[in-house]
Amino acid sequence: MSKKIKAIKCPQCGSTKQKAIDEEHFQCLNCGTEYIIDSEDININHNYNYNNAPTPPVNTKALGYIFGAVIGVPLLIFLITSLFSTADKTIKDVVVSKKYTWENATKSKVFADKNGNLKMFFAGDIDYISGNGRDADVLGKLYWGVYDVASGKMDQINQFPDIQTQGFFSGLDFEMEKFDDGNIYYIVKESKVFVYNTQLNSFTNITDDLEKNIPQLRAGIGTIEFENYLHALLITSNTGKKITYFPSTKIHLQDFKVYDEPTTDFKEGTLQTCYIESSSNPGYVIKYEALRKAGYPTYTRPTFNVSFNANDEPTKVSSHNLDHHSFIKSYKILNTENRQYKLQVLDYNQNTVLTAFKNSIQEGEKYHFQLLDGDGNIKWSYKSDFNHVFEESCYLSPKNEAVIDVNRRYLWFDANGKLKKDLKIEDITFDIKK
């Protein structure tokens, strides 16, 4: 027989406060535990039903996970942020180091430096290489640079001082010539003239010096042009006075006209061997000797006429009677056996001459390039795939190395006629300082 229980305690918290759910089923009013009183054996069966759950025991493993998360998540965020920051910096560095190249308005001249190394002088507009968009920072600005042909690198690259335009430059905005003093002259929009000294590697604006040193230009310069084949500048003042100026000697002549001047003996000159193509077709190389001196008024582009017999064989050559300022002393035809069409003398030195010609006047005929000795004998010959050649940008060095311009593409030959480099202007890339 079961004993009477005076006080029923909650098996969970020990409280005696409870409420009866049914005859033997109770719920603790302190912790909410439900329990059953078995009157037969005084066993208490309890059912936990937490409305106000007590604090569970501390799980140290879980606490470690939580602590690790608190520390690790911010660290992970920092690392990811740093990674993207580094990536952004890398992208910015790539943008800054984008390569530049010469644009369509660029002009060039080839020369040999004081050590005999081939160099190319460029002046014009620049931009990113193809596929990299455009750089607004260089738009409307003008740059000059010197390229080493052998190394394939730019030795110098600089911006023109005080030159700026709206939008793009045109090739008509500039003129470039290499004078008989060996230096390269560059005229910008008929208003400013610069000179690059090929031996000192210096670049100078001489415009202000012209106004200061030439009395006829004190009223200011109106226009500046090249005086063709005189290695001189033709300058018109704001008052209309025309001055022919020879920069290397600073000789200036007012209203000078080659064909109107009387023939005089050029005592200051020395006898030099020169070459030029005849005005005939087929053409022939004319070798002539003339008095020359850098910086003096000598005409450097005389005209030679060739007469032919009934079989189109050359019979004689004569000089134009108005070419007296060329101071020609003798002349002759070289290699009369060769029939060459569209002949051009590209350049020469004292003992050799570089030429370009076609074998016929048929459409699609390609140019041949030849190096001849002083007697007209062929030293080397090269058959090209090009329809055009630009004589004003070609060069024959004292070592008989040749650079031939075939429209923004340059062929470099050694003294034996071996093609050492086929260079496109867009392949010349460089960085600039900003």
List % helix, strand, coil for the chain (3-state, nearest 5).
Answer: 15, 40, 45
**pLDDT of 207-249, one tens digit each?**
999 999 999 999 999 999 999 788 999 999 999 999 999 999 9
Q: Note the pLDDT of residue 319.
A: 86
**pLDDT of 28-49, one tens digit each?**
777 777 766 655 444 444 444 4
Q: What is the mean pLDDT of residues 262-288?
A: 85
Q: Counting every residue, how long is the chain?
A: 434
Q: Is the pLDDT of residue 370 over 50?
A: yes
* 355 contact partners, CB below 8 Å, separation of at least 6: 277, 285, 340, 343, 344, 345, 346, 369, 370, 371, 372
Q: Is the pLDDT of residue 86 over 60?
A: no
* 239 contact partners, CB below 8 Å, separation of at least 6: 219
**pLDDT of 315-325, one tens digit each?**
888 887 667 77
What domains appear along the chain, each with residue ranges and CATH number? 108-256 (no CATH), 270-425 (2.40.128)
Task: Report the share of the chain in percent with pLDDT over 90.
Answer: 57
Most distant CA pair in the chain: distance in Å? 160
**pLDDT of 294-309, one tens digit each?**
998 888 889 999 998 8
Q: Is the pLDDT of residue 147 over 80?
A: yes
- pTM (2 d.p.): 0.75
Q: Specify the amino acid at residue 151.
A: S
